[in-house]
Each structure stands twice: as structure tokens, then as C-alpha cells.
Amino acid sequence: MAPTCAMRDGHNLEITSDAVDTVNAIKGKIWDAASEFDAGKDKSKFRQYVDACDRVKAFYAEQHAKQTVEYNIKVRVEFRNKKRARMSVWDAMEMLDTLVDESDPDTDLSQIEHLLQTAEAIRRDGKPEWMQVVGLTHDLGKLLHFFGSEGQWDVVGDTFVVGCKFSDKNIYPETFAANPDSYDPIYSTENGVYKPGCGLDNVMLSWGHDEYLYHVFKTQSTLPEEGLAMIRYHSFYPWHREGAYAHLMDSRDHKYLAAVRAFNPYDLYSKSDSPPKPSELKPYYQKLISKFFPEELDW
Ligand SMILES: O[C@H]1[C@H](O)[C@@H](O)[C@H](O)[C@@H](O)[C@H]1O
Ligand SMILES: [Fe+2]
Ligand SMILES: [Fe+2]
């Protein structure tokens, strides 16, 4: 008998193998075509941390020293117990506009411009609307900066796993020497507090804009799981670019890795595109936003 899927209205939809093949073929196309956009970019110009300015180096020195297991547990408890703000997605984008990201060696543009650049690059490549919306919103978690973060070190920058050995695939790996967890008898081991293959959903990533936004959108948007994964892991460069932490992945994470890798070029390489004009693009994106989000969200 063919497998079935329970629909919201109570009836069971039969999933024929034809239907599964069609869905997989479409999904495959979405990811395969992802390389079109970055083909003309000189990739050696991005993420040059050896030559980065002092602002970026100081940022990571602080972040790597302070993102401990203890801090990460504390901030998650606070996150659950706090009401921050209620506003629309577009208002959130405008609120973010004054933030200049200290961790980023590749752009001095405002955050609203970066979000629109990312979304526009995805749109130009003919990707689905949900992915355009992911591009448009993926950095909105940086709002944490206005909601009582301790600085930028707990908001922006690449993410990494806490609770096990800090990977050498992180940028400036030597700066983890200032993190007390580097000397903890459990947290400093290969698996630390985790079981191999436990899945990234069960792993604590350094707290910042990705994890925060993932939780906000998980319950307040209709974005597909791949879209939520793009948001949750987009700063997890040691994993999606360098292949670190593979021993903690489960089978679902392989699917998510493909999604995050498909998204990354739009986020990173669109930073060299010409600055977009928010007022011109607003009507198009307002309409898209309304397809995936309620009028206002709890942030
Ligand atoms: O400096 C950047 C910036 O903070 C991005 O928003 C983040 O996603 C990247 O991982 C990071 O390298
Ligand atoms: Fe980001
Ligand atoms: Fe970004």
C-alpha cells in the first residue's frame, strides 16, 4: 500500500512514488541552480580575517572568551522568560537599520540594505518566494542588540558549538585560550557533553542572532523547515563551510546542510552588489512578508 499523509482536514492523502519523485526533483533544482549567482564573484575578496581590521579582531577575541556553557544556559533561560517587543517584520528591519556589525569585514552598509541585497540576489535567480523571504529576514535576530544584549559579542559573528572542544576550523581559533571552557575536563573533549550523531538540534550553538530568530520564526511564520535551517545555521561557518562538527550531525542535518550551503552565497557575495533602494522595494517585499507572517510578531 502506498504511504499516506494526514491532511489538516482529516483525510489521508496518498503519496505515490511519482509525487515523491516530482517533489525531490523540484527540490534538487532549487539547490543545484544555487551556484548561478556567485559565478562572477571574486570569492578571495570575502572573509579575509588575517587582514581584517582591529575592530573585527577585537570583536572575536571578546566573543570567543565570553561564550561559555554557563553564559549560554543563562541567556536561553532569560530569553524564554522575557517579553521584548511586538511589531511587524518591516518595522523590525527599519529598527535594525542603525546597527553596524562589528564582526563583518565585508560590508559597512546598513542592515536593511544587506537584507535587501540578499533577497534581491535570491529573487534574481528565480528562487521560491519563501527563500526570498529568508534572505530578507535572516539577520533580523540582530535586534537582540536593542533588547538588552551584553554587547555585540552575543549577537553577531560566526557561531560555534559550546560544550565540547572548540574546533580549529573556527576563525581565530587561538583566541579560545581565553575561554575558561577550554580547560574544563568535559567541555574540552571531542564530544564534550554530547553523544556522537545526536543531531545539531540537540547541540548548543554559541548564542546570537541565528538561534534567536529561529525561535521567533519557528512558531510565528509559515516558512518551511529548510528556510528555518538557513536562518538557524547561516553563521555556522565552521560547519557549513569547513566541515567541522560532522560527528554531531544526524541524518536530518545533512538535508539542512545542503539548504544552508545553497543560501550562503546570497548572504555573503551579495555584499558587493550595488546598494538597493528600500523605498522602491518596499511594496514588493511587504506583499511577500504578508504571505509568511502575521501582521505583527512577538520578538
Ligand atoms: O560578520 C558576519 C555577520 O555578523 C553575519 O550576520 C553572520 O551571519 C556571519 O556569520 C558573520 O561572519
Ligand atoms: Fe547573519
Ligand atoms: Fe547576513
Please determine, for residue 133, whether its predicted confidence score (pLDDT) is greater than 50: yes
Residue 14: what are its φ and ψ, rounded to 5°? -80, 130
- Average pLDDT on 219-244 reads 98
pLDDT surpasses 70 at 8? no
Which residues contribute to the annotated binding site for substrate?
47, 101-103, 142, 157-158, 234-235
The ipTM estimated for the assembled molecules is: 0.98
Q: What is the 3-state secondary structure (H, E, C) of the chain?
A: CCCEEECCCCCEEECCHHHHHHHHHHHHHHHHHHHCHHHHCCHHHCCCCCCCCHHHHHHHHHHHHHCCHHHHHHHHHHHHCCCCCEECHHHHHHHHCCCCCCCCCCCCCCHHHHHHHHHHHHHHCCCCHHHHHHHHHCCHHHHHHHCCCCCCCCCCCCCCECCCCCCCCCCCHHHHHHCHHHHCCCCCCCCCCCCCCCCHHHCCECCCHHHHHHHHHHHHCCCCHHHHHHHHHCCCHHHHCCCCCHHHCCHHHHHHHHHHHHHHHHHHHHHHCCCCCHHHHHHHHHHHHHHHCCCCEEC
Phi, psi of 78, deg, nearest 5: -60, -40
Enumerate residues with CB within 5 Å of ligand 3 (an ion): 139, 267
Taking CA atoms, 19 is separated from 7, 13, 23, 32, 258, in Å, by 16, 11, 6, 20, 21
pLDDT in tens, 80-131: 999 899 999 999 999 998 898 999 999 888 899 999 999 999 999 999 999 9
Please check the confidence at residue 31 and state whether its pLDDT lies above 70.
no
**Which residue, by CA, sits nearest to atom 1 of ligand 1?**
104
* Residue of 53, 56, 64, 103 best suited for mutating to test ligand 1, as the one with most atoms within 8 Å of CB: 103
| Per-residue confidence band for 231, with pLDDT thresholds at 50, 70 and 90 | very high
Q: What are the pocket residues of ligand 1 if the criterion is a CB atom closer than 6 Å to any ligand atom?
A: 101, 103-104, 139, 156-158, 234-235, 237
Q: How far is the CA of 135 from the centre of ligand 3 (A)?
A: 8
Cα gap 242→169, rounded to integer Å: 6
Q: Which ligand is nearest to the CA of 107?
A: 1
